[in-house]
Structure 1
Amino acid sequence: MDTSTQHGTARVTPVLLVTAVAAAISGFLYGYDTGIISGALLQIGDEFGISRIQEQVITAGILVGAVLGAFAGSKLSERYGRKKTILLVGVVFVLGTLACSVAPTATTLAAARVLLGTAVGAATQTVPMFVAELAPAARRGRLVLSFQLAIGVGILVATLVGASEQLSWRWSIGLAAVPAAVLFTIMLRQPESPRWLVKAGRVDDARATLQRIRGAHADHRDVEDELDHIVGLEREQRKAPAKGWDGLRQPWIRPALVVGCGISLFTQLSGIEMIIYYTPTILTDVGFERSSALQASVALAATYVVMQVVGLAVIDRIGRRRLVLVMIPGAAVALAVLGTVFATGQDTPDTAWLLVTCLIVFMLFNAGGLQLMGWLTGSEVYPLAVRSAGTSAQAMVLWGSNAVLSLTILSMIDAIGEGGAMFVYAAFNVAAWIFIWRVVPELSGRSLEDIEGALRRDSFRPGGV
């Protein structure tokens, strides 16, 4: 039975809509809490008199915490369920945000950002998986990408707050406690994932939840067929010799791990975090006024959001793989041109327009392409028995690489110059294109069970799913 078409006309019910809202709030918090540091660093530097290395440590603190949170999120969501884990994430978001906003020193601020990062990491591990497990195949891409789109909105709001320079960095960071509290409140009434309920042996609860998610209009037989498919796969999983983290070592699951972790790694190596975190710092270093540098960050964040909206609208029709293969070359060319401008010493007030244009063009192609794949792919490719561990491993790769890059970007620029750094990231984009072309299959329109079936048949490759 091809479940990719069976549930292809499923509607977005109120339960799914509220789930998408919860995902959007989680994504907003991720984007805001990571993006607010871009403009806040200028004020933090003035208050604490920090060095270049300390700037990198404060920036990367949230990323180190995210690695820890991604691992913890896997354990918690597997044992206690997706819903309870997200509720806990909401609480930690509030506590971490408030701790950052009252930090008395640069050291305590970095430590508080580690705490906040655990919420970010757990959210990115659990929320896309939760949405994917509730959504019908035909709607999964758009619903999961509500999380991705909200990341861009969070970054945009954070850059607008920073560019306005109307709030102190303490207030600008502390305001994130409000949506975190809203997330907790919304999740109180949401159902648990029916796939997790089946895994926990609660089949009757899973049936009732699935009927609630699909809505009163849904044919009872379709709901039963979907439940039977989930139950059947769970029976097979129970016979598997290894589950969870041990299960990731099984040869038939390895292709999913390569695709998921590879995509996560390249979303960071593409240069997006360098652009988001350090654009004001880089531009002020080459002579931009602080206000102009912050305004450039706003333009970049707005471009990110616009392209996420465009991607959200077309990705299920065009296909994930095809869209990314079309978009990556534009990002690579933009970085190469930017590197040439810096390397040839043309980064002057007369060429400021060219610098900003290259940054915006890069963001256009990167946000509308590769960035769409990171969290969406992780929510799709892993079989149920290892899904929590797989999404956790993928999130840890993403956040770990993000932390390493954030800790080294400014040092790399000091060592090889802005031009050299741009060339390095342009090369990473070329490598990402090759990886996707050779390794990543097209997953649009396929149910989670279809994808798992392709892994078991050893046909999880381009043209094989």
Structure 2
Amino acid sequence: MQADTPNDSANVSSLSPSVQMAFIAAIAAIAGGLYGYDTGIISGALLQITGEFQLGHTAQELVAAAILAGAVVGSLTSTHLSARFGRRHTIMIVAAIYTVGVVAASLSPDALWLAVSRLVLGFAVGGSTQIVPTYIAELAPPDKRGRLVTYFNVSIGVGILCAAIVGFVLQNAWSWRLMIGVAVVPSLLLLFGMMRLPGSPRWLVEQGRLVEARQALARVRETKQEVREEIADIRELHEQLEEERGGWRALAEPWVRPALVAGLGVAAFTQLSGIEMMIYYTPTFLTDAGFGHSAALLAALGVASVYLVMTYIGKRVVDHVGRRRLTLWMMPPAALALFALGAVFHYSLGGEHRGALVVACLLLYMVFNSAGIQVIGWLMGSELYPLAIRDKATGAHSAMLWGSNLVLTGTALSMTQWLGVGGAMWVYGALNVIGAVFVYVCLPETAGRSLEDIERALKEGRFLPTRQRGDGEAVRGSAAA
């Protein structure tokens, strides 16, 4: 099977290995921008769509949520494609689905067609979140893996910001069809860009294609010695792979359980900590605080800008600070910001400055949440799981993220009706506290460690933070947290 290797001519480049790796991560991460844009643009386009198709409240929710339902399915089904055709080729399939979905949505003759088209887009969104972080992680050097995988997070922020800009600035200049359809440009760029990139060396070793694995790794490593040592390390673990490999039941093996609990827990709290709720419903909350419609949309644009800036900063520091420590630093202040925001709403604090207090608390929450758990949410899915179950586990990880997103966005407005906006903010603040406790207890430090080292620690019972003594740099980072 030749699916995961580009043409031989693509293997020759004058770029240095570090520049090539950054270029590879940037091209693959375009999928994150498509995710951010395609999920975010519906808030700006829905006003026009509702008017054209005469949609009621329920129909609007179905059109908006179809992409999330598709993402859950796409996360799980892409695991088979990834295992059979390889990471690189699966990303190309995802790019093709993005292209078809965007074109179909922009040409929709009615609301049902639009909902189905966004469901198809969801397959691509879910598939990309399952496969892109894994692809980058399997190529990246251990000491740079965090910042390279989080190109994906930053790209999501770029997509969300672009959607907010289009929805606010071009609301009266572009039709909703053009708002949605313009995403065909990056989807085609992703499709053709991936044709020139190398395959995953881990997947190639699994297929017994050692020469191609060495060629792929040689493009992104500084020395031949690094390539030889890493290939030997991958092969050593691969020798145990066949007897360990299994279906979905393999995820229930006792030795795998700590990684699965840690990874899926982080995936859940990435969404349950409230980020998507804030991105989707900021205009609603601010309108309740007395903001005008335009001011609320402008503040939502500010929220998207903060998300992008802080995920970029998180990307720059995650390999130096550590995944676990960064999250433990950021989640408690995010919780405090939500508790304060809840108090402002519930007790009507601030008087004539109430609006400014709401915006301040909202932006502080975005600062700490975006630079913390949002940075590691997708990254952990690419690092924690053993090679034998990586395809299925990353699919489950992505499905957990999208399932949690669906639960959160599907209950946010109902929760504000039951508890008031202030009560809802307190609930989300409590979830941030619970998330921080979970990270402290269950998530080990993975910064600076190879994927093979992480797997060995899992097999030897040294995976959990309390059992990482003797693991060098990882232990110091974990202890400091």
TM range (shorter): over 0.9
Matched, 1:174 2:181: yes
1:98 and 1:363 map into 2 onto residues whose CA distance is 33
| Structure 1 contact 260–377 (Cα < 8 Å) conserved | yes
Mapping 1:75-224, distance limit 5 Å: 75-164=80-169, 165=171, 166-214=173-221, 218-224=222-228
Superposition TM-score, scaled by structure 2 size: 0.90
Shift of 1:312: 1.3
Give a deviation string over 1:121-177, Cα, whole Å, max 9, x none. 000000000000001101111110101111111111111111112322221111111
Q: Deviations over 1:300-332 (max 9, x none)?
A: 111111111211111111111111111111111
C-alpha displacement at 1:14, in angstroms?
A: 4.1
How far apart are the structure 2 equivalents of 1:459 and 1:246?
23
- 1:348 CA drift (Å): 7.6
How far off is 1:59 after superposition?
Answer: 2.2
Q: Is 1:297 matched with 2:300?
A: yes
CA contact (8 A) 2:96 2:191 kept: yes
Aligned partner (choices 386, 405, 412) of residue 389 of structure 2: 386
Label 1:358 to 1:43 Cα distance change in 2 as closer, same or farther (>3 A): farther
Rounded Cα–Cα distance in structure 1 between residues aligned with 2:55 and 2:247: 42
Which of 325, 342, 345 aligns to 1:322? It is 325
Is residue 2:442 matched to residue 1:439? yes
Q: Between 172-181 and 398-407, report the one with greater CA deviation.
A: 398-407
- Please report how far the alpha carbon of residue 108 of structure 1 lies from its aligned counterpart in structure 2 after TM superposition: 2.5
Identity %: 49
Give secondary structure in 1 for the equivalent of 2:252: coil
Q: Structure 1: which amino acid aligns with 2:164?
A: T
Shift, 1:224, TM fit = 1.1
Kindly tell me: are residues 349 and 110 of structure 1, through their superposed partners in 2, closer, same or farther at Cα, counting changes over 3 Å? farther
CA contact (8 A) 1:93 1:119 kept: yes
Question: Which residue type is aligned with residue 190 of structure 2?
Answer: L
Which residue does the alignment assign to 2:249? 246
Deviations 1:158-202 (A, max 9, x none): 111111123222211111110000000100111110110111111
Contact 2:28 2:194 (8 Å CA) reproduced? no
| Contact in 1 for aligned 2:273/2:432 (Cα 8 Å) | yes
CA distance in 2, matches of 1:12, 1:415: 55
Q: Is the 8 A contact 1:57 1:407 kept in 2?
A: no
Q: Please, which of 24, 28, 34 is the counterpart of residue 23 of structure 1?
A: 28
Out of 62, 65, 71, which is 1:57 matched to?
Answer: 62
Matched residue, 1:8: none
1:3 maps to none
**Partners of 2:408 and 2:250 in 1: how far apart?**
30
Higher relative contact order (CA 8 A, sep 6+): 1
CA pair 77-212 structure 1, distance change in 2 beyond 3 A = same
For residue 421 of structure 1, the aligned residue among 424, 428, 434 is 424
Matching residue's letter, 1:184: L
The answer to which of 317-326 and 14-23 deviates more is 14-23
Q: Which AA in structure 2 matches 1:53? A: T
**Do the aligned residues in 2 keep the contact of 1:102 with 1:170 (CA within 8 Å)?**
yes
1-structure distance, mates of 2:400, 2:138? 22
TM-score scaled to structure 1, two decimals? 0.93
Q: Is contact 1:59-1:406 (8 Å) kept?
A: no
Count of residue pairs brought into register by the alignment? 451
- Distance in 2, matches of 1:213 and 1:206, equals 12
The equivalent of 1:5 in structure 2 is none
Q: What one-letter code is carried by the residue in structure 1 that aligns with 2:339?
A: A
Query: Matched residues in 2 for 1:390 and 1:359: separation?
Result: 34
2: CA distance, partners of 1:293 / 1:221: 56
Cα distance in 2 between the residues matched to 1:278 and 1:45: 17
Alignment of 1:41-56 (within 5 A): 41-56=46-61
The residue type paired with residue 293 of structure 1 is A
Larger mean Cα displacement after TM superposition, 311-320 or 347-356: 347-356
Question: What does residue 459 of structure 1 align with?
Answer: 462
8 Å CA contact 1:272–1:366 kept in 2: the answer is: yes
Gaps of 5+ in 2: 1-15, 472-481
Structure 1 residue runs without a partner (length 5+): 1-10
User: How far off its partner does 1:48 sit?
Assistant: 3.4
Shift of 1:12: 4.6
Q: Decide whether the 8 Å contact of 2:147 with 2:317 is kept in 1.
A: no
Determine the structure 2 residue equivalent to 1:32. Answer: 37
Q: Are the aligned partners of 1:263 and 1:374 in contact in 2 as well (CA < 8 Å)?
A: yes
**What RMSD, in angstroms, separates the aligned Cα atoms of the two structures?**
1.7
**Structure 1 Cα separation of the partners of residues 419 and 49 of structure 2:** 26
Q: Is the contact made by 1:321 and 1:442 (CA closer than 8 Å) also made in structure 2?
A: yes
Aligned letter for 1:290? H
Structure 1's consecutive aligned runs of 4 or more residues displaced over 6 angstroms after TM superposition are: none
Q: SS at the partner of 1:50?
A: coil
Q: CA deviation at 1:252?
A: 0.6
1:227 alignment counterpart: 231
- The answer as to 2:76 corresponding to 1:71 is yes
Aligned partner of residue 248 in structure 1, secondary structure: helix
CA deviation after TM superposition for structure 1 residue 23, in Å: 2.5
Q: Provide the residue aligned with 1:4 in structure 2.
A: none
How far is the alpha carbon of 1:281 from its aligned partner? 2.9
Distance 1:407 1:197 in 2: 41
**Alpha-carbon separation, structure 1, partners of 2:345 and 2:116:** 35
The superposition leaves residues 396-434 of structure 1 with CA deviations (integer Å, 9 ceiling, x where unpaired) of: 011011112222222222222211211111111011011
Distance in 1 separating the partners of 2:248 and 2:433: 31
Change (3 A) 1:61 1:295: same
Change (3 A) 1:46 1:345: farther
For the residue of structure 1 that corresponds to 2:239, the secondary structure is helix
Task: Give the Cα separation in 1 of the matches to 2:304 and 2:278.
Answer: 10
Moved more, 11-20 or 96-105: 11-20
1:267 maps onto 2:254 in alignment: no
